[in-house]
A and B are shown apart, each in its own frame.
Chain A
């Protein structure tokens, strides 16, 4: 299923990519503004989609806004192409656009993602569309939108630094492992969506365009290609990413984000790449992890 696939049937009675052309124009205008002001959350007239809020309606609308008939789409959730919601969203676009879909990161022109950035480095011309639940990085510190908008306007981010400092004072480290706040283009503080902080460095200077859609909260934001994205830290407590003592049990990768899979109720577990495409590519190239051989033998 790694080959690009063309869907044979598209949904009758609906426009290309479900939304009408005027709505897509409205979304594109919001995207253009978002690209022009990196990291700034642009309010947009988010539509009620046939999928539930919180399940990727923002990402779906952004993808619908930018997708064309000659695009190749990849959809991942938790890094995997075969998680049920990724399957559901991929099928939604296959039905409403008839575009090619793929599981290969390198083949895709648009990648819609939830909670991960692919391990394979993205290149110019690719678009990474993030599904965002809560677009406001300051939300847990200030519940009011009227206040947080003011704080962004005034670049008043001290409250976040205080929070990170309090973490260090209490735990000796910054106790945020995902949705770790970043500063974009030296100006706007931004929520990277709940990706693990492991993925944060990939956002910096990325050749691909990064678009973020929050449907329920009705916000779109963006990071243009080759933009500076810094994870917040302190000089004496520099930003660090997660690391594992183990390597992937299937492909032996030591540089990828690993998921822990519980094997039995005796504490037995294995670690495997969360990025299923990356893992598959490596296995195809002949890399074998500690438990990969037995699977090949099956």
Chain B
């Protein structure tokens, strides 16, 4: 006999217990610690902080543990926590020129002031599974620190081009202007570059990677060069109201990518190079480069270029980049839809009956 689906509450509680059990896994194996995740899953932590819009390695590690390693779920956890935090200040713009760079490469110059610093990179590793890592207790040899000396100038590549006027100048920012914040006010079009860069920085790495890639394959080609990629530590400053001058509140690791793109010029602008900009928390090179490609693509309208690919379509890109939004809406299909489906059932049955009657009538004629 039919019994209405009762006891939802109990079912949910049970599901949560099962989830906790699955997360813990085999109890004969020691539990994963936050310190381990923080120290050894650093790139996962970096991604969760970047797309979660919150620089906190401990909380990001906690989110990864709680999410059983599902990074999009971890990003969601971090975001939901972030909403509850009070805002007590807006930081000064970080100065990546003063970065203590642990990695800095340019593909446009063979050598340059400050030098090329490879740093910790997967590049040039042969992707061979290292079976020695199957066992614990592998001690790695201490590597030579090749990072730049603190205080040693490492000018940005784009500034060399700037001397010659070959690269488009970014319009000077208004220091007093409020910075757009998509977590406080809804997206509006056309979006300012600040809102756009915030959207892309929070955007899903996979989505941006695919879009950036599509521009390289001809869907809105923008001829990029990796002008410069740098990763390292920068200081974060705020200006407390009662002091009136900036004080350093901490240090964060960021990855910055400046792409240099060809621009043929327009009626008002001479031929020159233009910039695409990407920035992530931690070490997020793939994301920073993808972001820079998409940022440059989205400047097509401002530069009077033809819109030929999805990566150039502002509404399309900015509305679909957020993986917390996308993941929620895609997965909401799991919720019951039987009321709507009943409506569709009735509709399809009626349409079929009518069609049969029509065919019957035609056959009779």
Point out residues on A near B: beta carbons under 8 Å. 14, 20, 43-50, 52-55, 57, 77-80, 82-88, 91, 114-116, 133, 143-146, 171-173, 175, 177-179, 194-198, 216, 218-219, 242, 244, 249-250, 257-261, 263, 270, 272, 274, 276, 291, 294-295, 298
Tell me which residues across on chain B come within 8 A of A143, comparing CB atoms.
315
Would you call A272 and B2 a contact (CB within 8 A)? yes
Would you call B8 and A48 a contact (CB within 8 A)? no
Question: Which of B4, B7, B76, B350 contacts A80 (CB under 8 A)?
Answer: B4
Would you call A14 and B187 a contact (CB within 8 A)? no
Would you call A171 and B351 a contact (CB within 8 A)? yes
> How many pairs of A and B residues are in contact by the CB < 8 Å rule?
150
Would you call A196 and B12 a contact (CB within 8 A)? no
Q: Report 27 cross-chain contacts, Cβ distance below 8 Å, ordered by A residue.
A: A20-B84, A20-B86, A43-B188, A52-B324, A53-B324, A53-B327, A54-B328, A77-B335, A80-B5, A83-B8, A84-B11, A85-B335, A86-B8, A87-B12, A115-B340, A116-B339, A145-B189, A173-B351, A175-B347, A178-B339, A196-B339, A219-B186, A242-B343, A244-B346, A257-B342, A259-B339, A270-B2
Tell me which residues across on chain B come within 8 A of A14, comparing CB atoms.
84
Interface centre among A53, A79, A261 (most CB of B within 10 A): A53
Please, how many angstroms separate the alpha-carbon atoms of A194 and B335 in the complex?
13
Would you call A48 and B83 a contact (CB within 8 A)? yes
Tell me the nearest residue of chain B to A180, going by C-beta: B343
Question: Which of B11, B12, B186 contacts A218 (CB under 8 A)?
Answer: B186
Would you call B329 and A54 a contact (CB within 8 A)? yes
Question: Which of B324, B345, B350 contacts A173 (CB under 8 A)?
Answer: B350
Please, how many angstroms separate the alpha-carbon atoms of A114 and B337 in the complex?
10
Known: A48-B83, A55-B328, A261-B2. A88 touches B12 (CB 8 A): yes
Q: What DSSP secondary structure best describes chain B's contact surface?
A: helix
Tell me which residues across on chain B come within 8 A of A53, comparing CB atoms.
324-325, 327-329, 332
Complex A-B, nearest 3 residue pairs according to Cβ-Cβ distance, in ascending order: A54-B332, A53-B328, A177-B343
Residue B126 is within 8 A (CB to CB) of chain A in the complex = no
Question: Which of A47, A178, A270, A274 contacts B83 (CB under 8 A)?
Answer: A47
Known: A82-B4, A87-B8. A54 touches B331 (CB 8 A): yes
User: Per-residue 0/1 for B160-189: is the Cβ within 8 Å of any A Cβ (1 yes, 0 no)?
Assistant: 000000000000000000000001111111
Would you call A91 and B9 a contact (CB within 8 A)? yes
Would you call B342 and A52 a contact (CB within 8 A)? no
Would you call B4 and A274 a contact (CB within 8 A)? no
Please, how many angstroms separate the alpha-carbon atoms of A195 and B331 in the complex?
19
Known: A53-B329, A54-B331, A115-B340. A146 touches B12 (CB 8 A): no
Tell me which residues across on chain A come within 8 A of B330, comparing CB atoms.
54
Known: A53-B328, A173-B350. A144 touches B315 (CB 8 A): yes
Would you call B186 and A43 a contact (CB within 8 A)? yes
Tell me which residues across on chain B come within 8 A of A294, comparing CB atoms.
1
Tell me which residues across on chain A come within 8 A of B347, comparing CB atoms.
175, 177
Please, how many angstroms separate the alpha-carbon atoms of A37 and B324 in the complex?
31
Would you call A83 and B336 a contact (CB within 8 A)? yes
Known: A78-B338, A194-B340. A291 touches B331 (CB 8 A): no
Tell me the nearest residue of chain A to B181, going by C-beta: A45
Chain B residues 1 to 41 lying within 8 A of chain A, measured CB to CB, are: 1-2, 4-9, 11-12
Using A91-B9, A175-B347, A219-B186 as known contacts, list a sample of 8 further A-B pairs with CB atoms less than 8 Å apart, ordered by residue number in A.
Answer: A45-B184, A45-B186, A82-B7, A114-B335, A146-B315, A196-B340, A257-B339, A294-B1
Please, how many angstroms separate the alpha-carbon atoms of A24 and B246 in the complex?
33
Would you call B8 and A47 a contact (CB within 8 A)? no
Tell me the nearest residue of chain B to A216, going by C-beta: B325
Would you call B335 and A55 a contact (CB within 8 A)? yes
Question: Which of A45, A133, A260 contacts B342 (CB under 8 A)?
Answer: A260
Would you call A115 and B339 a contact (CB within 8 A)? yes
Interface centre among B12, B331, B335, B338 (most CB of A within 10 A): B335
Known: A172-B354, A177-B347. A82 touches B5 (CB 8 A): yes
Would you call B342 and A259 a contact (CB within 8 A)? yes
Would you call A258 and B1 a contact (CB within 8 A)? no
Interface centre among A54, A175, A197 (most CB of B within 10 A): A54
Tell me the nearest residue of chain A to B189, going by C-beta: A146
Please, how many angstroms separate the alpha-carbon atoms of A53 and B7 in the complex?
24
Would you call B186 and A79 a contact (CB within 8 A)? no
Would you call B2 and A263 a contact (CB within 8 A)? yes
Residue B79 is within 8 A (CB to CB) of chain A in the complex = yes
Tell me the nearest residue of chain B to A57, going by C-beta: B328
Question: Which of B83, B187, B328 contacts A52 (CB under 8 A)?
Answer: B328
User: Per-residue 0/1 for B321-365: is the Cβ within 8 Å of any A Cβ (1 yes, 0 no)?
Assistant: 000110111111001111110111111001100100000000000
Tell me the nearest residue of chain B to A47, going by C-beta: B83
Tell me the nearest residue of chain A to B73, going by C-beta: A52
Tell me which residues across on chain A come within 8 A of B332, comparing CB atoms.
52-55, 133
Tell me which residues across on chain B come within 8 A of A216, comparing CB atoms.
325, 328-329
Please, how many angstroms separate the alpha-carbon atoms of A46 and B2 in the complex?
41
Would you call B324 and A48 a contact (CB within 8 A)? yes
Would you call A87 and B329 a contact (CB within 8 A)? no
Tell me the nearest residue of chain A to B345, going by C-beta: A260
Tell me which residues across on chain B come within 8 A of A197, comparing CB atoms.
343
Please, how many angstroms separate the alpha-carbon atoms of A244 and B349 in the complex?
12
Please, how many angstroms separate the alpha-carbon atoms of A173 and B347 in the complex?
10
Please, how many angstroms separate the alpha-carbon atoms of A216 and B327 in the complex?
11
Chain B residues 176 to 229 lying within 8 A of chain A, measured CB to CB, are: 183-189
Tell me which residues across on chain B come within 8 A of A171, comparing CB atoms.
351, 354
Would you call B338 and A52 a contact (CB within 8 A)? no
